[in-house]
Structure 1
């Protein structure tokens, strides 16, 4: 504990340099602007910026990415509140109460509640990261190859089971990602796999190109195919502020949110969507103003926004300590680490302590900047919503192609980018979630490596995959995840109780009378 605080103080010393402060401020501003624009999430933003950061110092690049992460979460809630159009999936719940508040003339209060909620949730979540991450990393150092393979399989199964409209679509997306990850030369035999005779594919498809193609190009094509030339009305925003009565109703939801958001962000359960809904349900049950829910209850904005921000810190914890991304943005950030030749995992705190603790310290700084910059700039962000969609997505396609070409300077990369972008468009068309695919591309080769390493050590004995208590426990959890829907269907359903005043209740009363 004392060592962690000492490392954190050193991290603050590095993060408070003018250059790193500039990166943090730039990340927060970029992230907020990107989150405000509907359909452009933080994953797409970081994917587009990956090629640009090749010339950056790794510490500065990750500080900027972390700022984008938190900034986009706030920007997404701004769009939800003002337009009822979530700019980011974690901001869906903010629209339920935030938009009715805005329509009733309380847009400023809703935005202030969201901004302070993000600060409180993020601050408590990063405190949890400081306390738990070194402990998790120290335990994870002793994890062997069979255990790592089991954990990666759990990540695959958990993400594909939670996301999307059906498990079949989730596993189809995962299979697609694993297939893309196989492209290139076999690491042991050297035989080409799925290269189709193209020499440039012998080294595989760069994760940056896959991320940009699936997120940016796929989303741009999807929006272009469904573009409607109708202007949405933007609700005017005054100066964000909260009265004493508002603060009295919001401080408890702000503090409850992180206890729901951080644990869910740490596990492969699809990111902030689940904890925000759970927080909303919790606040609705605990509130003394239940009659306002659905028409603009401020608690319904405060709790979910705090939970969303805390889940971001939980996601960072798992990504840094285990090398497992639990959300799309974390998957792209993992690709960024690999781009700089850094492998997140248990040894990261030993091999790159300066980078890690500077990054964690910058999260605190980014949260302060998020609050200081975004509260007065809320009316400015609202004006971004007036940018015509054709101009916006034409620019995204241009930067995506430039970024893909910058990866290796090969024209074939642009063709691969467009092919993967078309795949991303088809995935949206048929309801396949994108996260399992990008997870398969990034973790697939690592899972294959751990599987082969386990079998080589055991001379091909498959039972070695189940030889440790941790592996057995993980596979038990995987089995429960897969079998739970079948078990739930097999259980007898209880008949609904007769409601007072219904015909069934009246009949029973007559029989008793």
Structure 2
């Protein structure tokens, strides 16, 4: 959201690629703090704390950092394959959507958001209801009636960009300000070799293969996002594991599965954004606002009217996935030193 003012005046393709790169990089690197200091870098990295930090305490920090990068890379590649082959079919199907189909889709998204909300379902319902009520403020587009316009400034409703920046960017600024005095001790010497032995990697192959499509499918659902994908994939692997008692104590598959699901879900979240004009997560909602600001409306005709934007973003994420794993593996130790910054 902070990048939106910077993207103003950019070419739409450049702006969206820049945002997608930051989004994907955050998905890739959010687990570093989870693994080293048991503090998730973002919401979708919460599950990485469950087994990533115990691996660090067991003296396997290097292995944890390596499998995190490798699983994220594989999950991202699988997600990209699904995105490439499913984007156009979904777009073509979306062109046939009428009012009934769109209503059903929106109802499903709202219901799923409440059902899968973390913590109390009642809180999820209240948050969804408040957002729904705020969206009705302004002039009704069909009847022209005024809705909740107590002052003149509200006749045009609450601007989407204002809401997104207020909810995400400003909140993040205050959150960081509150923790400005925090300081974490990170011993880079204890990380060791950043690599995964073949015997350990074999344990993660099936969890990664299972979690990647699962994460992608959850990411496609509007409003779901990577956090839900990581929790679902972790729960699935713990259920299927032959040693569930190891989960939470440093099981390498317990770290690989959510990492793969997280990155695959970031690809899946682009499907409803590019093909339906519906954000699949909070971050893609900000991307939607940026595109609208630049005069581009994502939706079924995006691949016809602006193919350079749709395929440019897909190609950039594929390239970014390769670059990120090349950066994260050899530079894992220097990157961890950033956690020492107060």
TM-score by length of 1: 0.62
Matching of residue 210 in structure 1 with residue 163 in structure 2 = yes
User: Which of residues 127, 142, 158 is equivalent to 2:96?
Assistant: 142
| Residues 281, 158 of structure 1: alpha-carbon distance in 2 compared, 3 angstrom cutoff | closer
Gap runs ≥5 in structure 2: none
| Structure 1 unpaired stretches of 5+ | 1-46, 389-513
Deviations 1:161-194 (A, max 9, x none): 3214333322322232233333444435656544
Structure with greater proportional helix content? 1
Q: Which residue of 1 aligns with 2:121?
A: 167
**What is residue 52 of structure 2 aligned with on the other side?**
98
- Of the three residues 156, 176, 186, the one matched with 1:234 is 186
Greater Cα shift, 359-368 or 287-296: 287-296
In the alignment, the residues of structure 2 paired with residue 196 and residue 76 of structure 1 have an alpha-carbon distance, to the nearest angstrom, of 42
Return 100-109 or 232-241, whichever deviates more: 232-241
The answer to whether the 8 A contact 1:162-1:269 is kept is: no
The answer as to whether partners of 2:90 and 2:275 remain within 8 angstroms in 1 is yes
Structure 1 position 378, deviation (Å) = 2.1
- 2:59 is paired with a residue whose SS is helix
Distance 1:337 1:228 in 2: 33
Q: Deviations over 1:123-176 (max 9, x none)?
A: 111101111121111112111123212322222222123214333322322232
Q: Does 1:58 align with 2:58?
A: no
Residue from 310, 321, 327 that aligns with 2:275: 321
1:267-416 matches, cutoff 5 A: 267-268=221-222, 270-287=224-241, 290=244, 292-388=246-342
**Match of residue 69, structure 1, among 23, 27, 30:** 23
Aligned partner of 1:85 in structure 2 is 39
Alpha-carbon RMSD: 2.4
Give the drift of 1:213. 0.8
Structure 1 position 387, deviation (Å): 3.0
| Shift in CA distance, 189/297, structure 1 to aligned 2, threshold 3 Å | closer
The whole-number CA distance in structure 2 between the counterparts of 1:203 and 1:51 is 21
The equivalent position to 1:221 in structure 2, one of 145, 149, 174, is 174
Q: 1:158 to 1:290 in 2, by over 3 A?
A: closer
Assess, with a 3 A threshold, how the Cα gap between structure 1 residues 191 and 84 changes in structure 2: closer, same or farther. same
The answer (yes or no) to whether the contact 2:2–2:165 under 8 Å persists in 1 is yes
- Distance between the aligned counterparts of 1:51 and 1:229, measured in 2? 28
Judging changes above 3 Å, is the alpha-carbon distance between structure 1 residues 158 and 280 closer, same or farther for their aligned structure 2 residues? closer
Quote the Cα distance in structure 2 between the aligned partners of 1:107 and 1:317.
34
Higher relative contact order (CA 8 A, sep 6+): 2
> Residues 238 and 211 from structure 1, CA distance in 2 versus in 1: closer, same or farther, beyond 3 angstroms?
farther
Pair 1:291–1:148, CA change in 2 (3 A): closer
Deviation of the 1:279 alpha carbon: 2.5
Q: Is the contact made by 2:9 and 2:294 (CA closer than 8 Å) also made in structure 1? A: no
Whether the 8 Å contact between 1:83 and 1:235 is mirrored in structure 2 is no
In structure 2, how many angstroms separate the alpha carbons of the residues matched to 1:165 and 1:349? 38
TM-score by length of 2: 0.90
1:252 and 1:304 mapped to 2: Cα distance? 13
Alpha-carbon separation, structure 2, partners of 1:91 and 1:230: 19
What is the CA deviation profile of residues 435-479 of structure 1, one whole-angstrom value per residue up to 9, with x for unaligned ones? xxxxxxxxxxxxxxxxxxxxxxxxxxxxxxxxxxxxxxxxxxxxx
Residue equivalent to 1:456: none
1:49 Cα deviation (Å)? 0.3
1:90 deviation in Å? 1.5
Q: Which has the larger radius of gyration?
A: 1
Moved more, 164-173 or 230-239: 230-239
